[in-house]
Amino acid sequence: MRKTRRILFLFLIYFFIGIQSVFAVSVTIDPVISPISTEPFELTVTVTGAKTGTNYLRADIFKEETTDYFGETFTGSEWYNGEDGTHYFPINLITDTPAIATISARLSSIPANWSQSDHFIARVRRYTASGNYTGSEASASAIPITILIPTPTPTLVPTSTPPILSPSAPPYLPISSSPPPVSNIYITELLPFPDNSNEWIELYNNNEYEVVLNSWFIDDGEDSGSSPKIFSITIPGKSYRVVDLSTPIFNNNGDIVRLLDANVNEKDSFTYTTTSRGQSIGRNDILNHATCIQVPSKGSTNNSCLLSASSATSISDTGEVFGIDDKTAGEIETENTSSLSKPEYQAQTKQEFNNPGKKSLNDQLQEEELIQPQISNVFDISIKTGTTSTFFISLLNISFILCKMVLRPYD
């Protein structure tokens, strides 16, 4: 009887041990052959013996015989190394079916006390849906890995001994850390009142070499309400380039034109006080900033003057009149001064500037425009008085005015 009880007891012990081994969960990692650095790497993990459900896998990297765990695990949407076990890489498990997953891990940084001679370990923690894991299970999954420890670069201490230069060697020239400031760039022509087109600005590079205008600005008067227009352009030496404006900025009845560099420093400007539809405002000479109305010569040498850009009025082809002062074609504005001139413009001044004592056809036509209202005034007086004598006197006055117009010779 006592022998039978002993056999039964041993049977029960082996039975429960067998059941425990059947339901034990194991986590294994495939060997990692390549050395690991701070770049992401992959671990192939096999989970067996777990029940159906979703578990979560976390990679640990640590130095042998320490418990300082490093590394981050990719959750599927981000890199994570926090305390929430259910936030790590998910793996779906089925009872009695091994599950294989590949997880991505990385060392965001390598501790300063690690060296190439140290031994390193990788292991995987398996978190259940409740956020718990078994330490012995994680330790059983550990495998050795190799980590590439970067060699610190020694800091070079400059020697106090000056270098020995050969007598024939050229002198040392320091290299500037930033390009020299750009200068000698001028506004030479402007179309402020376009006819079925956009406004544009013509720039001239008065240097012998190419310049790059990066993030420069075109603007009108400072704090005048319009936003500066940013642009970038390359201009060869002694050449023109045009900046087309997508939206208007300049006034038709006069404005200030300014060229600003990337630091919003003014590089050039001029003022005009009258415009004509479809005609440009051009500079006669960079030296004195004289401006006049011209036939547009977009991107090339300016044409001859039609009318000063500072005259009293200018009548467009649609009959619109613009102008704000009483200056004539011979009065030149010098809102700015410059030490350099544009050679191409010096021979293109208006004939009146070279011969101020000789009347031009344009001046004579303007005088005739003044005479025509006089004739109209005479008829108005005769109609209002209603007398025959007044009417004949009016006819004599008209005859005198017409004779003056016919007999006056044109120059």
Residue 259 and residue 335 in one domain: yes
In this predicted structure, the answer to whether residue 219 has a pLDDT above a threshold of 90 is: yes
- What is the distance between the alpha carbons of residues 47 and 41, in angstroms, rounded to a whole number? 20
Q: Residue 270 has what pLDDT?
A: 85
pLDDT in tens, 173-206: 444 445 568 999 999 999 999 998 999 999 999 9
Determine, yes or no, domain membership for 338.
yes
pLDDT in tens, 267-286: 999 889 999 999 999 987 77
Residue 270 and residue 396 in one domain: no
Residue 262 and residue 218 in one domain: yes
Determine, yes or no, domain membership for 241.
yes
Residue 120 and residue 231 in one domain: no
Residue 314 and residue 373 in one domain: no
Determine, yes or no, domain membership for 12.
no
Residue 351 and residue 367 in one domain: no
Q: Which of 95, 129, 145 is the last residue of a domain?
A: 145
Q: Are 253 and 310 in contact (CB under 8 A)?
A: no
Determine, yes or no, domain membership for 177.
no
Q: Residue 267 has what pLDDT?
A: 92
Q: Which of 151, 183, 347, 372 is nearest to 266 (CA)?
A: 183
| Predicted model pTM | 0.37
Q: Which of 121, 145, 169 is the last residue of a domain?
A: 145
Q: Are 257 and 228 in contact (CB under 8 A)?
A: no
3 state SS of 353: helix
Percent of the chain at pLDDT above 90?
40
Determine, yes or no, domain membership for 9.
no
Residue 112 and residue 201 in one domain: no
Determine, yes or no, domain membership for 180.
no
pLDDT in tens, 359-409: 444 454 444 444 444 444 544 444 444 445 555 665 666 666 666 555 554
Residue 393 and residue 291 in one domain: no
3 state SS of 251: coil
Domain that holds residue 398: 363-407
Residue 141 and residue 266 in one domain: no
Supply angle C-alpha 27, 28, 31, rounded to 5: 160
Q: What is the CATH number of the domain that holds 39?
A: 2.60.40
- What is the distance between the alpha carbons of residues 328 and 284, in angstroms, rounded to a whole number? 15
Residue 138 and residue 231 in one domain: no
Residue 334 and residue 208 in one domain: yes
Query: Could you tell me where the beta strands, DSSP code E, fall in 49-168?
Result: 53-63, 72-74, 79-80, 89-93, 99-106, 120-127, 143-145
pLDDT in tens, 333-345: 333 333 333 334 3
Total count of domains within the chain: 3
Q: Residue 1 has what pLDDT?
A: 60
Determine, yes or no, domain membership for 394.
yes
Determine, yes or no, domain membership for 10.
no
Residue 345 and residue 371 in one domain: no
pLDDT in tens, 287-342: 767 789 999 999 999 988 888 765 433 333 333 333 333 333 333 333 333 333 33
